[in-house]
Chain A
Amino acid sequence: MTSNQIAFIVMAIVALFGALGVVFFHSPIRAALALVLNFFTLGLIYFLLGAQMIGISQIMVYAGAIMVLFLFVIMMLRSDETKDKPQLGERRFLFSLLGALALGAVVFLKAILPVMGSTTLSQVPDYGRPQYIGMRLFTEYVWPFEMISILLLVGIVGSIMLAKRKF
């Protein structure tokens, strides 16, 4: 057990506890904070994989911006906490668990098993640097990049329209 493996296992356990908290906390605020924990730990796992740029944007965009939006909306909704109990004996919990197990079987057979011992060395050692991503993003990915900016603009205008409209 090397130090990298221990680091990955610790981060994976923390991320899984965050994901469990999102699903099983009754209070939406607690679920949101568990999701912040999960996103932050995922950012650290991205750093472990050598992708600094993606890790920083994960922490800034997801754990920062998106979760603040979620917390604002949760606090504005003043929803009834007692109503949203995930009943474990319920039929839909059982069926979603069965679906997850079926998906797990397919993923294990078709994706995890063929690459189980695969530790192929990366051919691009500094692939996660902002310099590299910026060069690629503004040359060969410039058209999707502009499309994404238009989509974000449409999203901003649409949410302002939804917020201003009187029903």
Chain B
Amino acid sequence: MLLMPNLLATITEEIPLGWFLALGFVMFALGGIGVVVRRNPVVVFMCIELMLNSVNLTFLAFTAYLPNTGLGGKTAEHAAMAGQASIIFVMAIAAAEVAVGLGIIMAIFRQRNDVDVDDMSTMRS
């Protein structure tokens, strides 16, 4: 624990912020391509999770690098917590979304014995 501040200082000196943003962008773009290309709704859900995680990565990168830019006159402690609180809430919402969405997919599967997002284009059964 005593080592952590020095470690963070060296990391923020050595790795530019743009690297984390580039990684986050590439993951987001791959997730978006997957949502469009794949037909299995479970895999589409996984691609959505990929996109949520890439946004979490950019949240945390900005939290680690730029807390002193402030947040509407708030202090650096407020700004450093804001990004991490967003990540915690995104995680909780992703968990709720996955539980409900997979329940819906199971319900559709029990009714039709097949899951394909191209065939599920109408609300009527």
Contacts and interface: CB of A to CB of B under 8 A. Distances in A.
Interface of A: 2, 4-5, 8, 12, 15-16, 19-20, 22-23, 28, 31-32, 35, 38-39, 42, 45-46, 48-54, 57-58, 61-62, 65-66, 69-70, 73-74, 76-77, 79-80, 83-84, 86-87, 90, 92-93, 95-97, 99-100, 103-104, 107-108, 111-113, 115-129, 132-133, 136-137, 140-141, 144, 148, 151-152, 154-156, 158-159, 162-163, 165, 167
Contacts of A136: 77, 81, 85
Interface of B: 1, 4-5, 7-23, 25-34, 36-40, 42-43, 45-47, 49-50, 53, 56-57, 60-61, 63-68, 76-78, 80-81, 84-85, 87-89, 91-100, 102-107, 109-111, 114-116
6 contacts: A4-B10, A51-B63, A77-B106, A103-B28, A122-B64, A126-B1
Contact of A162 (B47, B78, B107): B107
A121 B5 CA distance: 11
A12 B16 CA distance: 14
B42 A23 contact: no
